[in-house]
Structure 1
């Protein structure tokens, strides 16, 4: 099966997962709003989430996959042993790290007593770190065997648990104290991790992979993987690292205080919460499409790295598909940002002012969807070629630049949204550098067909953006009456109608133009690729 069909599977299940994630965020925003308890929760959840993305889905998966692919092709029994030993070492290392982390979290409030709740929640949720990292690692093994659905559906369990703990507890115990409630939500995260692990273990049965420390038969493979893993943490995880830095800067008023070096800190309490809400909306299209494409194409690139023609062929398709989906997603997100924020978050404890704050930050994040979508595929191409140092060196500079821009832009009128614009600026610089370097290593990467396809995608996106912007200007005049039939309020109802109308119009417009202009990417995005793959070299 081609990577496009795998990408479709991952995208569809990730779409379901992301929708459940939006329901989760909607439940939390309406129950807690931008209350300081949510700041504490997001701070505490950031650490296990960072490790999941770096170890489970990022560096470990990226370094493990090429080695496992080669072993699976040459010696399946040795591949199973390699996977078993890697999983055992990962479990032991993360369990030890969790114990150390618990000790640090317990001792930390003695030095920084400002926000005790964040440390309490971190102590509760730290065990989720080894659980979800092992779950994500198992998912990478299943991906190599073409079983993409299991890992893509796994986050639904976490989202369901948090929804139950947020809305369910609020419904049954309406007057529950906020601190106790957020502690219950934190415990639900750990329970979800156990359920996710059980789900993965059940799905892994029959593959012959068990915890094992008999590494003598795969020592060279382990050494190769570990040698490449550390550099990959920066190459694959630059967005996660930058997001973590953003969170630390945004959470300063909650964790430390309202002044820094005797000056008033430019951000207010609750900044970390609105940043996280905006990040969730930004990650929705990125996770559904950009990361899904990179996840699906990586095994293909790893297998075809020894064949330059096939490698370049697959990579060109991956870049074109990432552009075709990522560029209109960025443009569309800019247009619908306020309506999307209103529909997902507004209500209960989350008011209209909170909506404006999140939508303003989302404006800064939106252009980065296309940059990160392409970057995910480009970075995997470097790793499939065995080059971990180039993305790592660039990532180090980008992390430093992001920190510099963060510390500068928050003092400007951009305020909290300066953190988002910093991420976007760094993303475009990084992807431009990576493409420039890769262009010199992959023969005819941007051939005439890819260049023509890129121009068509840009043109179609401009037309789509103009059309939905025009619709956004005239639509409110005709829908005020429709909103009255929506029982949750006129403002929410109008935003829902406009969001559905603009999103539908954008999708129809983009696919209609793609079909009219004979762009095969629209078929690839649906997994219909067999005829087009043979025709790529003859025309776009």
Structure 2
């Protein structure tokens, strides 16, 4: 399976999960709008989700995978199994020690870290659903206690997923997150059908998150056993391999969770304004679709590929892999960013505007989405640049970059929130993302760890041109379809109008890319040929 096919496998599975995520958010928006229960659920879910990203995209994928791959390549499967067992046992103990105190002291965590804004009493008339300040704080604590064990389940999922990725079994780990969305969709459909009030729905969704975490762990464990590998739980022992993992894992966890750190900081600040947390969350979902499909796919596939090439001394292959990965990332990300920036309101209206989600809410969420779109290429490039450090077992430099970016995001969020409210937080997140990406690239380029070839420079310039021209096509078509994308046009007409806009944008962009040579036609042809061969073998 070539590199682009692996990206497509992981990206396709992630796309399915993101589509289910859209359905989940649509139902949730209709049922809860941007009221206090929605804010409480989003605040509570962000905390374990932050740590999940630390372990999944940080420690496990970025520190565990290179060491596990190294053991597998140099010492064989028995040594790799022993190393995995050490890590599994140690991780289980640490997670238990973290989860129990967190549940006990959750009121303190909510008051000081998760949602300090809930300490500030507000005008109840500003809320869509009347809850006292004390009630808002109480349900946020309750939801957080129910969902926090999700962290433990997902951290173990991340480790098992790392084993599958090292074996180049990418699909199961990429598809597992869809279970969360399937479970929550089931909960929402049941609650809406049964006529549950918003508070009961919030509790049902919180329990659904926990159930989904267990289901995902079962799924990847079964996939690991089908791959012929297993781990056991035993008394943790302090070994040199485990020590090396921890040295790499701490900085890697911080680096891998940079996007979630920025979003978490933004939500903590946004908790001072009722509804702002939910506005940021709803805007984040469309923005996460291309980021997840492209960025996660590249991050998952690129690291083991780079690690194997560097461990084998194939430096030219490593450089080629890095350059082509950046090309592929920009090829798919730039048009998505342009489209989200130009037509955010029609997109948000189709996805969310029904039930408790009003036209005024659509305008607020669309404004945030347009600003998020400005940072989309940067956050995808971060996923391309960080494996260049992790594959070389260097976590110190990207950690320093991440800390600088997170610091800048916090300062900008606080400053801009009082000027632009939730839009200021979105702008701070995008600016911090660009700072992070530029510093990571500079660190690789200045030490000759990333040699930019002529093809990359040429294609990047052409991709920027093609994306800009595609944006021009959208701007020309929007006045012609203006009556079709207005709130009173009907959902069917709006969907048709958006379909026309998207089809025209996609057709113009891909045509321009192939005509100008911005797309690597040979690589795409090889991928399509490989997929046809696999389809023929499976028939």
TM (normalized to structure 1)? 0.89
Which residue, out of 375, 395, 399, partners 1:392? 399
- The corresponding residue for 1:23 is 23
2-structure distance, mates of 1:418, 1:177:
33
Which residue, out of 141, 145, 149, partners 1:127? 149
Determine if the alignment matches structure 1 residue 284 to structure 2 residue 304.
Answer: no
1-structure distance, mates of 2:176, 2:82:
25
| Aligned-residue offset at 1:184 | 1.0
- The corresponding residue for 1:517 is 516
Determine if the alignment matches structure 1 residue 37 to structure 2 residue 44.
Answer: no
- The corresponding residue for 2:127 is none
- The corresponding residue for 2:14 is 14
Over the residues paired in the alignment, what is the CA RMSD in angstroms? 2.2
Superposed, 1:2-81 pairs within 5 Å as: 2-74=2-74, 75-81=76-82
Deviations along 1:6-46, one digit per CA (max 9) or x if unpaired, are 10011111111100000000010001111100100011111
2-structure distance, mates of 1:51, 1:92:
16
Deviations along 1:261-318, one digit per CA (max 9) or x if unpaired, are xxxxxxx301101111111121111001122122111110111123321111110011
Deviations along 1:413-442, one digit per CA (max 9) or x if unpaired, are x22110010011111122112212211233
2-structure distance, mates of 1:498, 1:73:
53
| Aligned-residue offset at 1:380 | 1.2
| Aligned-residue offset at 1:526 | 7.8
1-structure distance, mates of 2:111, 2:412:
32
Superposed, 1:318-333 pairs within 5 Å as: 318-333=325-340
2-structure distance, mates of 1:455, 1:36:
46
| Aligned-residue offset at 1:490 | 2.5
Deviations along 1:230-287, one digit per CA (max 9) or x if unpaired, are 1112222211111110111111x3xxxxxxxxxxxxxx30110111111112111100
- The corresponding residue for 2:412 is 405
| Aligned-residue offset at 1:347 | 0.2
2-structure distance, mates of 1:273, 1:508:
34
Determine if the alignment matches structure 1 residue 231 to structure 2 residue 251.
Answer: yes
| Aligned-residue offset at 1:521 | 3.6
> 1:104 and 1:530, CA in 2 relative to 1: closer, same or farther beyond 3 A?
same
- The corresponding residue for 1:536 is none
Q: Is the 8 A contact 1:242 1:402 kept in 2?
A: yes
Determine if the alignment matches structure 1 residue 250 to structure 2 residue 270.
Answer: yes
| Aligned-residue offset at 1:51 | 1.1
Superposed, 1:80-119 pairs within 5 Å as: 80-105=81-106, 113=134, 115-119=137-141
Count of equivalent residues: 505
Q: Is the 8 A contact 1:157 1:196 kept in 2?
A: yes
Which residue, out of 153, 157, 164, partners 1:142? 164
> 1:324 and 1:334, CA in 2 relative to 1: closer, same or farther beyond 3 A?
same
1-structure distance, mates of 2:319, 2:367:
39
**5+ long unaligned stretches in structure 1:** 254-267, 532-540
Q: Is the 8 A contact 2:55 2:155 kept in 1?
A: yes
- The corresponding residue for 2:206 is 186
Q: Is the 8 A contact 1:59 1:233 kept in 2?
A: yes
**5+ long unaligned stretches in structure 2:** 113-118, 120-133, 531-539
- The corresponding residue for 1:501 is 500
Q: Is the 8 A contact 2:334 2:464 kept in 1?
A: yes
> 1:526 and 1:181, CA in 2 relative to 1: closer, same or farther beyond 3 A?
farther
2-structure distance, mates of 1:438, 1:211:
38
- The corresponding residue for 1:345 is 352
| Aligned-residue offset at 1:525 | 6.1
Superposed, 1:417-496 pairs within 5 Å as: 417-442=423-448, 445-476=451-482, 479=484, 490-496=489-495
Q: Is the 8 A contact 2:251 2:396 kept in 1?
A: yes
Q: Is the 8 A contact 1:511 1:522 kept in 2?
A: no
2-structure distance, mates of 1:376, 1:425:
16
SS at match of 1:147: coil
Q: Is the 8 A contact 2:389 2:395 kept in 1?
A: yes
2-structure distance, mates of 1:236, 1:6:
21
> 1:463 and 1:142, CA in 2 relative to 1: closer, same or farther beyond 3 A?
same
1-structure distance, mates of 2:263, 2:521:
31
Q: Name the stretch that deviates more: 427-436 or 370-379.
A: 427-436
- The corresponding residue for 2:216 is 196
2-structure distance, mates of 1:489, 1:201:
49
Q: Is the 8 A contact 2:405 2:436 kept in 1?
A: yes
